[in-house]
Structure formats: C-alpha cells, structure tokens
Structure 1
Amino acid sequence: MAEDNKLHAYTEDSIRSLDWREHIRLRPGMYIGKLGDGSSMDDGIYILIKEVVDNCIDEHMMGFGKQVDIKVSEHSVTVRDYGRGIPLGKVVDVVSKINTGAKYDSKAFQKSVGLNGVGTKAVNALSSYFKVTSFREGKAKAAEFERGVLLKDHKEASTSETNGTLVTFSPDDTVFKNYQYIPDFLENQIWNYCFLNAGLTINFNGQKYISKNGLLDLLQRKTTAEDLRYPIIHLKGEDIEVAITHENSYGEEYYSFVNGQHTTQGGTHLAAFREAFVKTVRDFFKKDYDATDIRGSICAAISVRVQEPVFESQTKTKLGSIAVAEGGQSMKNFVLEFLTKQLDDYLHKNPSVADAMKKRIEQSERERKELAGIKKLANDRAKKANLHNKKLRDCRVHMNEEYTGKNKEDMLTRQQETTLFITEGDSASGSITKSRNVETQAVFSLRGKPLNCYGLTKKIVYENEEFNLLQHALNIEEGLEGLRYNNIVIATDADVDGMHIRLLMLTFFLQFFPDLVKNGHIYILETPLFRVRNKQETIYCYSEDEKLKAVKKLGGKPEITRFKGLGEISPDEFGQFIGEDMRKEPIIPAKDMPVAKMLEYYMGKNTQHRQDFIIGNLRSEKDLADAVPVS
C-alpha cells in the first residue's frame, strides 16, 4: 500500500518543465493533428508541408514573391519562396523559439494564416533533418537542425540568389511510421493554394500550377460540366469570394477557406454561407422553400479573409471566430450582406440561371415529398433498432460531438482518429470487434453481399434495412455536418467475393453520399496476405513481393502462412493491423471519368464495352506465375 502511495505521490518532483521541442515531440497531435501514414489527406506529413508553404503564401499575400518552388521526393521536402527572406539575425529563432515570429505585428502581416509562431517550429521538431536558408539583399544565412536540436549555425555569406527563404526537411520516421506521400493529395493541396491566390505560380516537382479565376477554377475542377444544372456562379467582394452551382447528385458539397487555409471542418464562415444562401434564394423567388431543398445537390466554395482569425485547433481545420472586420461585424452579417446584394443581382441579370436553379430546387422538393412517408417509417424502425442494434458495435468518441473540456486539443485529435469498419461475416466482425480500440473504433457488420443500388433512387436507402441502419450509424441523412466517424473503412476479404462487396459498398456511397468520397472519408482496409516467421521473428506481408523479401531476410526455411480471409486472423494478431500501423487505401475518384459514367461502366448492365475489356485483359495462371519475381 505504501509503495502504491509512493507511485501516486504528487510532489515537487512530479512537476516537469519541457522545452519547446520536447513538448512538440511528446504531444505532436496538438500541433499537426493525427500522425497517420499519409493515407488520409489530413495526416501530419501533409500538415508539415502546409505549415512551411503557408509562410510563403503569407509573403505572396503581402505582395512579395509571385512564385513558390516545391519538391517532394519519397522522404524529403524542399520549399523555396521569393519573398523578403527571414531577417538574417533571426533565422535560428524563427524556426526554434516558440512564440517568435512577425505575425503578431498586424502591420507586417495582414490577414495571414499563421498567427501563433508555432508552425515551422513543429516541422523542425518533428523532422530528422531540417535546414533553413534565408537570402536577403545579397547575403545568405543558414541553420541546420536534427529533431529540433541545432546542428550547425552557418555564418552569413555573400550570395547571388534572389531574396526569399529555402526550407528542406525530412519527416522523422520514428514519429511518422511507414509513411508515404500520395501524389493526388499533394496535388490537391497545391491546387488549393493556386485557386485562393490567383496569379501565384507554384512549381511542384517540375510541373507548373497557376489559376487565373480563383474559386471558379476550383469548382470546375471538382465538377463535371455535363452534371451541372447551370453555369457556375462566381462572385467576388472585398475579403470574400464564392462560387456556386447545383449538380444532379445527392447531398451538399462545400469547400471552405479562411486566409488561404482549407477549413475541412467548416466553421462560422461556412455556417453563415449555408444560412445566407437559403435566405437569399427564398427572398429572390419570394417562396418559403425548405432549406434542404434549396441546398440539395449544391456544390459551392467560399473563401474569406479575416484579421486575427480564431481556429479551434493548431491544424486550423475549423474557424471558431465570429468577428470578421475591424468594425466587429459578425461573420453571419458579413456573408449575408454580400450574398443578399451580389447573388440577388446575379440572378436578376441571368434569368436562365435563376430558372435552372428554381427547377433543381423544386425537383429536390418533389423527391423529398415522395420519400416522406417511407422515410418516417424507416426512421422509426431505425430508432428502435438503435436501442439493440446488433449490426453496430459503437465506440465512445465521435467526430460530431462538441467538446469544451481542458484537453480540447487531445480530444480533437481523437475525433480525427474515429473509424467505422464495415465488414462482412461473423468471424471477421468478431476479430475486429475483439481487437479494436473501443475509444475510437466502431464496427458495422453486413449480413452478406449488399444490394447493387446502381440506378436506384434514394428511396432504396430507406426501404433497405441494412442501408438505412448504416446511414443512421454514420448520421449522414442530413449531410456531412453530423458525420460520427472521420474514417469509414471497408474491411473485406481480398478474394472475389470480398472485392464484389467493396464494389457494392462504394456504389452505395458514390450513388447517394458522394461527398463522403470526395472529402476523403472512405478507405479500403489492407490486411496481410502472408505471415512469414521463424523462432526469432514474425513478418506480415501484404504482397507476394513482400513475402519473398521476408523469406530472404529470415533465411533458412521459415514457416509461411497464407491468410485466405479476415476470419482466419486471430483477434490478437488483428489488433496489429488496425492500430497505429494500420494500412488503408484511400478511395480517390478518377479525374478523367465522372462518377456517373464510372458507376455505369462498372455496376450497370453488362455492356459490350466492359465485356471486351475483360476478355482483352484475361490472364492465365501461367501468365501470373511468370509475372511473380524469383528471389
């Protein structure tokens, strides 16, 4: 008992003071959100790049530097801007002393993204190698670090380089394990910078990115011309820009930004836009349309510039501040004033667009009324089922819950980790349920192959009990704002049946909730195909190539087990594949094929085109055997 009291004693020895780098490395989630392996667009390795590039963008916004060069290789990142360059005497301090920077001086940086002097320090502390060089008025000053510790403080030297800052870093692989950069996520990040800074040129891995029309270009990239009900409405004002259109798909799709920062979780500016858009449309048509009908199938982008914005976390994914200008005008009134005038004027000047918008709203109204009866019955059934929902094994933390406690940053990180595994079969569901993290991981069990819902209306979501229960488990009936899990992971066997279930689930999400896919919430779980072990070591392999390397590494004749299905993996082993080293493959819609065409091709009737493709790509067992590399 005395020993126990000693362990829990609260004395002067219990109090520790951490230096800046120790604190960042001990609690990285507070600074860069979740760590991840790069399979999610909000993983820490992308936040590291963003923190460095944000400083370049702030320079550009202040009128210094029209070009940023970015190079990303497998494990190294280089960023060069052509702004003013860090004052030479402060190069070391700016990247290694918390609360040191120019962003506190509103005259030096108006309406910037970085405000707290933390970003580059976090990158420095979380990098195995970090080098910063400032070029200023014919002189250069550099400093090199390892995990935040200064290795070499270079002396000032003469240079012919143009003014600006050069940063090179390698993410620390002891913090970011088995990570890899996904080109699509990086390209999306680069394009967002260009859309929000018209005229800025970014050279990324040898390719030039530039946008002339801002958010209009963004929406054109995110939509397909043939799916639009009317041309994109593009409106610009002082400190605000919006782009709006309606599509043929279900749901609401938004892209929101504050001072060039992509606020993936929205915030006060997005809430203000959604409300203001509804009011403006009602006033224009002089009809009290339901808000869900007005916003149904909308695709919109909003960007605002705010002086000293208040974000809900260091990763700046959600805007919390209400005031927008020096006069203290609320965000709600600021956006409403802008739309009331600009959107109303646009619709009066473009009657064909107004008519097309009206028809889309009234189509949504008809569809909602047709669904009303069956929706009520289905929701009543779902409420009863939720009391004893055998399909869902829920977790304790959910993404949509408001949290105001002391450890808010930590809770926000855990909310980003919330995951729903969708799996099939009792054995697979049982293994995941027993080995999951009950705080942040939930399991939804399918009873077999789900229905192919391609070509069906949303009525089927309510008529089909399984789809309806899944919709309620995710809490997405009214849109993404209430989404309970940040990651939705389809976990099926890697055989033909498992692949078919994946396709059927993806069809469901793409058909009725495409914004889940477009916003990077849907993944496929990767589980090992082989276990290779001897008495000293066990290696899990996800491909034939990995298996051959493992056999070579262990030498001799190791034991090789081929996993045929998820149910064959014991709960103890399964825990290793859904923990911090979980491998999951993000579902990223192809840029060159619209969703509607893709679904028709893969899930529609057995067309001659698809038959020809299958026949043309058939491979025999001999072909496959010949393709396997020999060690």
Structure 2
Amino acid sequence: MAENNVTYDESSIRSLDWKEHIRLRPGMYIGKLGDGASVDDGIYVLVKEIMDNSIDEHMMGNGKTIEIKISEHRVEVRDYGRGIPLGAVIDCVSKINTGGKYDSGAFQKSVGLNGVGTKAVNALSNYFKVQSYRDGKTKWAEFEEGILLRESKEETTSQRNGTFIAFEPDGQIFKNFKYIPQYLDSMIRNYCYLNAGLTISFNGQKYFSQNGLLDLLRDNSDEEAIRYPIIHLKGEDIELAMTHGNQYGEEYYSFVNGQYTTQGGTHLNAFKESIVRVMREHFGKDYATEDVRSSIVAAIAIRVQEPIFESQTKTKLGSNTLSPDPNSQSVRSFVNDFIKERIDNYLHMHPETRDAIKKRIEQSEKERKELAGIKKLANERAKKANLHNKKLRDCRQHLTDAKLDELRFSTTLFITEGDSASGSITKSRDVQTQAVFSLRGKPLNCFGLTKKVVYENEEFNLLQHALDIENGIENLRFNRIVIATDADVDGMHIRLLIMTFFLQFFPDLVRNGHLYILETPLFRVRNKKETIYCYSEEEKQNAIEKLGSKPEITRFKGLGEISPEEFGKFIGEDMLLEPIILQKETSIQKLLTYFMGKNSPDRQRFIIDNLKVEKNVEEMAA
C-alpha cells in the first residue's frame, strides 16, 4: 500500500473569515443561486433580507413608507425607521454576530433574528453601500465583496431618520441574472398585505393595503369564481382569510412575522387540520379531508416570538411553540383554538356562507366518489407502467429529498415531444437532478373537461404520477417542470396544450412558480475559432458581424437536430428558462377560454405573434 505523505498538523487547519465562508457556501445563507428565473432564486432573497430589516422597523412603529428602486443589476432600499446607530453602521453589515435583534425587547416578533442576512448581501455583492440618517447626522460606508472600501465621517444632514442600502449582486456568483418585475411585484404586495397602513414605493409605483389578508385574497381570486364572500378574521398575533372557489387543487398563502413561508410549516399544517376538524364538528358529519379542502383559497399570518425556520431563507416555519418559554402555547393549539371559536361563530352568524360551504363540500364529495372507480383502474395501470415506464427517464435526486437541501432545488423534469428530442436531452442531461418525460405527439386539449380525463388519458395519468401531484403539490418530486418543444407552430401549440393541463387541473403548481419553458438556440454561427449560439435573428446578425468573413450558419429547425453534446450546453448551469407567471389580475378561466376555447383564430394569431422565428428567417439562414 502506498504511503500517504500529506502532513496533517496545525497548519492544515484553516479558519475562514465571514466573507470567505459566505462566498464559498452561499447556499447556506440564501438557498439556491439561479439567474432570477425562479421566484426563490438567491437574487430575490438578497432583496428580502434588506427589506425585512425595514419591515421590522415599521412593525416596531418606526416609519410608514419604504422606497425601493430596482434596475437591471442594482437594488436601492430607503426606509424611514430609526436608522442604524451611527457608531455601528459598519459593524451591523460586516460583523457576523452584530445586530439589533439579539435584544428581544427591541424586536419581539421580527423576521431576521440571527442578524446574518445583511452581511450575506454585503459579501455576495460587487458593490454595497449602507447609509444611516439619525437625529440630524449621517454616516455611510461602501464595500466590495464584503471588504470595506471607504467610509465617511459623521456629517450633518437635513434628511429624515432612516437607513439607505444599495447593492449590486456579484455577477460571478449569480451568472446572467436579471430581476423579473412580476416576482418583485408579488413580494412587495405581500409585504403590504401583512402590514396594513404601510406604503411601499417600487420604481415610482405605490403599493398599499387597507384590509390586509382580505385584500390579498380579493386581488388573487377570480371574483366570479368564489362561492361565498371571503371570511376575514383577526386576533392577537393571528389573521386569516378564506373562501372556496371552483378550481381544482388547494391554494394557500402563509406568513410568519411578515415573512412569506412559501413551503408552509407548523402554522399552515395546523390551519389545514383545524379547518377540517371545525367543519366536521359544525356540520356534525365526518367529511373526508380532501372534500373539505378541495378548491379552498386561504391565507394565514401569525406572529411568533423568536421563530425557528428550517433554513436561512425562512421559507418554512419549524417552531412548535409561540415563544422559547417552555410553558408557551403550541402553534398547533393556538391556531386550532382560534379557528374553532371564530369560524364556528362566523358560520352561526352567516347562514348563507354556511350553506355555501356545505354545498361546496358535498359537491367535492360527489365528484370524488364519481372518480373513485376510474381512479382505481388508472392507478393500477400507472403502477404497472411505472415498472417499465418508457415515458419517464427518472433522475436520482428529488425535491422531496429533504436532506439534499441545496441540490433538490435543481431537480428538473423536462417534458418533450418526439423520440429524437427526448433522446438528445436524455443523453446530455445530468442524471442526478434532471429527468425526462416523453410525450407521444400532441397531448389532448383538456380545456373544459373534468378531472376524469386525467385518469382516462394514460399520458396525463403517467405525468401526474411522475410528478406525484395526484393529492396536491406537497409531494412534488421536481422543483422545475420545463416544457421543451420545438420553436415552431406545432411546438408552440404543444406548449399551450401542456400549460392548459396544468392550469386546468393543477393551478397551484403554476402559481407557486414551478412551470417553465426551455429556450433553445435558433442558430449556430461559427468559424474555425469560435462558436456562437443565437436565440434570435438580432443575435444571429451580431454574431455574423463579430466573426466576419462568411461564417458557417446552421438553423436548428427542431430540438432533435441538436446533437446531445451540444444540447448539454443548453441545459446546464446557464440554462435559459422562461417562467410561466400568473399575473395578479389573471382569471385562469378567461385565459383558457381565450387560448384554448373555440376562438381558434385568436389562438393562431397569438402563436404566430409569439414565435421567435421571423417569417423569412429560414431564407435568411440559408
């Protein structure tokens, strides 16, 4: 056996300083990196970390306005709170155990108790500036990658008290990133819903909510589709709003101390359990859980002293009690007691709402029983198919693998059409985190059909099993579902058909930002020294100018024409994804009626207008 000559002594032990540690392991602090295509990408977490500090100031009664400016690569946030104490301006953004939130008397129920967030933003930024205005004086400091570049002395100012922070995320860490306005819009609206009376100015547009979670459900629900007026209840440290609609699935918005917990946690689990229990007790019937919760739209917000989140990005509440006090009430009993008393009272006082809820539950029960027979047969068929499922080339890791916290967010299912395209992706994919589901031709247009079709159609049934979303998206196996079709009329039509399937039967999957379209190049322009892939006619012309002297131009007519070796370049770290985002005011029913109803000329016009291929592009490529 060969001897190991590597010396292991005191010199082998290296201690990273705070900046190095954050830059070396950014996922520990801000979750996944990404380029901004996903709502949970790191660049949005950076914005939230700064915003949370301003929100905490507002919650403490300091400042009713926050101003935000976000351009392509720069973020600026100005609040009108108390301002960081001037002597601690540098320490607060650059010393890992320094902050005002360790004194629980000052921030009893804030979001960012560990004081790490601002330091992480500083370390992960090419440029970071902090400026505090306090009692007629101001001080500022500028950093690069967490390293102090310059600072001012204390100066006099006429500005109102508060804090200003500007930063530019590091392009080496967040490659090819861009902020998507719709994601920022949603984030800012949520801050306003949870802080009634707060005004946020975002790039000059003002956001304000008078009625909290009631406004949230009003703004995010199709008024024509809800079955009864929204129930809105508030208590000490808890607020909830709920109604039932006509859509499939369940839709929840949950918050802790103003933080949008996209993955739920103990408070949302308590709400789901409690709402079923109270309906059974109120109506005196042992309704099935899925019948009570089917088509529900609800929002719950609670405040907890020193909350414990399951990750630094604070997307899932792990606290079981309302405070660290060992005698503190559990989150579960707190939510249950509130719902048991207040919902039961509300239903007694509003008989029309009571009758509407009963009717909705019994309708769900009827639909479930009608589906039971065909569901059983379909699931048996899917179980057999899974043993030799040629449609799914699975990967090794999945979103439900909780221990793989960082990698699991990369888990991706590509939905492709045709053997050649499926073959190229299958050969070039990362087998650890990327899976492929192959369609056979155009899928069924399921617009206006009931969920029965999901079980009757073998392809749809196998797809829902591959994703494990039959009973909701809690068990979703892939963080990203990517539609990968050709950039032609047929490919665009297939995209719409797949999107219709998800919007019709699993709208919460789309609302939660899991559905994307893969952008692949239309052209390859190359000479002997360099190859450039182009996603538009404009990019092609720029590439021709750059390479000069008549380079070789290839027009990719379909995904199947791209070799596996090349395909690997388009589905790796720099993969270009276009997220499918539902706008706040979007009615799914109207959207589907427009695109997939009988008005086919409108659909054809949309497809042609949105193709990235110009009419004469093939002649130009020749």
Relative to the length of structure 1, the TM-score reads 0.95
Task: Tell me how large the CA RMSD over aligned residues is.
Answer: 2.2
**Is 1:514 paired with 2:512?**
no
Which residue of structure 2 lines up, in the alignment, with residue 472 of structure 1? 465
**Is 1:547 paired with 2:540?**
yes
2:412 to 398, 415, 419: 419
Which residue of structure 2 lines up, in the alignment, with residue 53 of structure 1? 51
What do the CA deviations read for 1:31-75 (whole angstroms, capped 9, x no partner)? 111111111111111111000000000000011011100000111
Amino acid at match of 1:69: E
Which residue of structure 2 lines up, in the alignment, with residue 453 of structure 1? 446
Which residue of structure 2 lines up, in the alignment, with residue 130 of structure 1? 128
2:477 to 470, 473, 484: 484
The verdict on how the C-alpha distance between 1:619 and 1:366 changes in structure 2, with shifts beyond 3 A counting, is: closer
Amino acid at match of 1:112: S
SS of residue matched to 1:181: coil
Which residue of structure 1 lines up, in the alignment, with residue 152 of structure 2? 154
* 1:151-300 paired onto structure 2 within 5 Å: 151-300=149-298
The verdict on how the C-alpha distance between 1:134 and 1:465 changes in structure 2, with shifts beyond 3 A counting, is: same
| TM-aligned CA deviation for residue 428 of structure 1 | 1.1
Amino acid at match of 2:220: K
Q: Is the contact made by 2:481 and 2:515 (CA closer than 8 Å) also made in structure 1?
A: yes
The verdict on how the C-alpha distance between 1:574 and 1:497 changes in structure 2, with shifts beyond 3 A counting, is: same
The verdict on how the C-alpha distance between 1:576 and 1:136 changes in structure 2, with shifts beyond 3 A counting, is: same
The verdict on how the C-alpha distance between 1:24 and 1:351 changes in structure 2, with shifts beyond 3 A counting, is: same
The verdict on how the C-alpha distance between 1:52 and 1:593 changes in structure 2, with shifts beyond 3 A counting, is: closer
Amino acid at match of 1:163: N
| TM-aligned CA deviation for residue 591 of structure 1 | 4.2
Give the distance between the partners of 2:526 and 2:616, measured in 1 at CA: 24
| TM-aligned CA deviation for residue 13 of structure 1 | 4.3
What do the CA deviations read for 1:234-282 (whole angstroms, capped 9, x no partner)? 1111111111011101001101111111111111111000000100111
Aligned length: 618
**Is 1:564 paired with 2:557?**
yes
Give the distance between the partners of 2:207 and 2:612, measured in 1 at CA: 44
SS of residue matched to 2:176: coil
What do the CA deviations read for 1:117-172 (whole angstroms, capped 9, x no partner)? 11011100111000000001111010000111110021111111110000011111
SS of residue matched to 1:379: helix
Amino acid at match of 1:192: N
SS of residue matched to 2:277: helix
Which residue of structure 2 lines up, in the alignment, with residue 344 of structure 1? 344
The verdict on how the C-alpha distance between 1:349 and 1:505 changes in structure 2, with shifts beyond 3 A counting, is: same
Q: Is the contact made by 2:220 and 2:585 (CA closer than 8 Å) also made in structure 1?
A: no
Which residue of structure 2 lines up, in the alignment, with residue 369 of structure 1? 369
Amino acid at match of 2:97: N
| TM-aligned CA deviation for residue 500 of structure 1 | 1.1
**Is 1:527 paired with 2:533?**
no
Give the distance between the partners of 2:292 and 2:69, measured in 1 at CA: 43
Which residue of structure 1 lines up, in the alignment, with residue 590 of structure 2? 597
Q: Which moved more, 1:95-104 or 1:203-212?
A: 95-104
SS of residue matched to 2:263: coil
Give the distance between the partners of 1:43 and 1:230, measured in 2 at CA: 36
| TM-aligned CA deviation for residue 610 of structure 1 | 3.2
Q: Which moved more, 1:37-46 or 1:568-577?
A: 568-577
Which residue of structure 2 lines up, in the alignment, with residue 104 of structure 1? 102
The verdict on how the C-alpha distance between 1:12 and 1:394 changes in structure 2, with shifts beyond 3 A counting, is: farther
Give the distance between the partners of 1:622 and 1:26, measured in 2 at CA: 41
**Is 1:429 paired with 2:422?**
yes
Give the distance between the partners of 1:422 and 1:163, measured in 2 at CA: 53
Amino acid at match of 1:15: I
The verdict on how the C-alpha distance between 1:51 and 1:348 changes in structure 2, with shifts beyond 3 A counting, is: same
Give the distance between the partners of 1:290 and 1:546, measured in 2 at CA: 56
Which residue of structure 2 lines up, in the alignment, with residue 610 of structure 1? 602
Give the distance between the partners of 2:492 and 2:606, measured in 1 at CA: 19
| TM-aligned CA deviation for residue 309 of structure 1 | 0.7
SS of residue matched to 1:226: coil
Which residue of structure 2 lines up, in the alignment, with residue 407 of structure 1? none
**Is 1:330 paired with 2:322?**
no
SS of residue matched to 2:142: strand
Q: Which moved more, 1:113-122 or 1:324-333?
A: 324-333
Amino acid at match of 1:97: K
| TM-aligned CA deviation for residue 621 of structure 1 | 14
- Unaligned regions of 5+ residues in structure 2, if any? none
Which residue of structure 2 lines up, in the alignment, with residue 18 of structure 1? 16
Amino acid at match of 2:221: T
The verdict on how the C-alpha distance between 1:522 and 1:2 changes in structure 2, with shifts beyond 3 A counting, is: same
Give the distance between the partners of 2:21 and 2:499, measured in 1 at CA: 41
Q: Is the contact made by 2:526 and 2:553 (CA closer than 8 Å) also made in structure 1?
A: yes
Give the distance between the partners of 1:576 and 1:473, measured in 2 at CA: 25
SS of residue matched to 1:70: strand
The verdict on how the C-alpha distance between 1:442 and 1:604 changes in structure 2, with shifts beyond 3 A counting, is: same
Give the distance between the partners of 1:616 and 1:174, measured in 2 at CA: 36
The verdict on how the C-alpha distance between 1:571 and 1:621 changes in structure 2, with shifts beyond 3 A counting, is: closer
| TM-aligned CA deviation for residue 606 of structure 1 | 3.4
| TM-aligned CA deviation for residue 555 of structure 1 | 2.6
Which residue of structure 1 lines up, in the alignment, with residue 69 of structure 2? 71
SS of residue matched to 1:132: strand
SS of residue matched to 1:347: helix
| TM-aligned CA deviation for residue 448 of structure 1 | 1.4
Amino acid at match of 1:469: L
Identity of aligned pairs, percent?
A: 70
What do the CA deviations read for 1:302-361 (whole angstroms, capped 9, x no partner)? 111011111111001111110014542111101000000111111111110111111111
The verdict on how the C-alpha distance between 1:614 and 1:494 changes in structure 2, with shifts beyond 3 A counting, is: closer
What do the CA deviations read for 1:432-491 (whole angstroms, capped 9, x no partner)? 112112221111111111111111110111111111111011111111111111111011
Give the distance between the partners of 2:613 and 2:510, measured in 1 at CA: 37
